Copies of this chain bind each other. A is one copy, B any other.
Amino acid sequence: MTADVSEESLELLKGVSTATITMQLLKRGIRACSMVGPKPFSGTEERLVGPAYTLRCAPMREDISTPAFLGAEDNAQKIAIEEIPAGHVLVIDGRGEGRSGVLGDILVARLKIRGVAGVVSDAGVRDAAGVIPVGLPIYCPGATAPPNITWLTPADRQVRIGCGGVLVDPGDIIVADGDGAVVIPRNLANDVARDGAEQERFERFVQLRVLQGQPTKGLYPPNEESLAAYRQWLEDGEPE
């Protein structure tokens, strides 16, 4: 899919929460990775993992952002919807414009049919009643009725964008879950996948101990004794 992010890493990331990913990135000096705005649109989204395909919007201007523009074949959004590869995530720089819905039920259905992994947008999505049944994972600030051209203009695609206040390059890895959407810089994705999966495993152990009444002191972060207990738990096959 992408040369430098392995399929194995993408598979691992399906089991790593965005909370864990942000901690892994913080350890690597990156705080600016979690978007403000995108949340699960239907409320029951499955987790979303995949490389970013980017679409950028400019503001609306009445002489440009017309119904004719919306229907034109060279509209960047129309091209994007047919061009984005299967398995990728459509990431839309909608300038945080929650008043406009950048996608409605028809285009969402087309993305679903084409095998796209999902959508992350910092502008709204429209026609919630028609979009939700399609079953495509969508993360955005919420539902809104007006089409994109009411307050936005699709401008170009596959360029460096911002979404939810975070820089996204085409090919960066997007992961989204109930905590929202995060971006993993492409060249860090293999490391974050590997260490994130290990962190998830360790925190399952910690959570079991906490629910048994053990204080977090010495456990989280672990002292030597806890590390030994963790290794034993791994050897024992990670019993619940």
Which residue numbers of A lie inside 8 Å of B, CB to CB? 17-19, 21-23, 26-27, 29-34, 36, 39, 58-65, 67, 71, 73, 78, 81-82, 95, 98-99, 101, 104-107, 109-110, 113, 126-130, 142-147, 149-151, 153, 155-156, 159-162, 165-167, 177-180, 182-183, 185, 187-188, 203, 206-207, 210-211, 213, 215-217, 220-221
Contact = CB atoms under 8 A, between A and B. Distances in A.
A167 B58 contact: yes
A203 B106 contact: yes
Contacts of A143: 39, 178-180
A121 to B, nearest CB: 15
Contacts of A162: 58-59, 95
A160 B153 contact: yes
B210 A21 contact: no
A95 B161 CA distance: 11
14 contacts: A19-B101, A21-B145, A22-B147, A26-B146, A26-B149, A29-B62, A32-B61, A59-B167, A61-B167, A63-B185, A65-B167, A106-B216, A109-B210, A113-B213
Nearest to A72: B221
B155 A59 contact: no
Contact of A26 (B23, B150, B155, B210): B150
Nearest to A125: B179
A22 B145 contact: yes
A135 B225 CA distance: 30
A138 to B, nearest CB: 14
Contacts of A60: 31-32, 167
A61 B73 contact: no
A43 to B, nearest CB: 9
Contacts of A106: 203, 206-207, 210, 216, 220
Contacts of A109: 207, 210-211
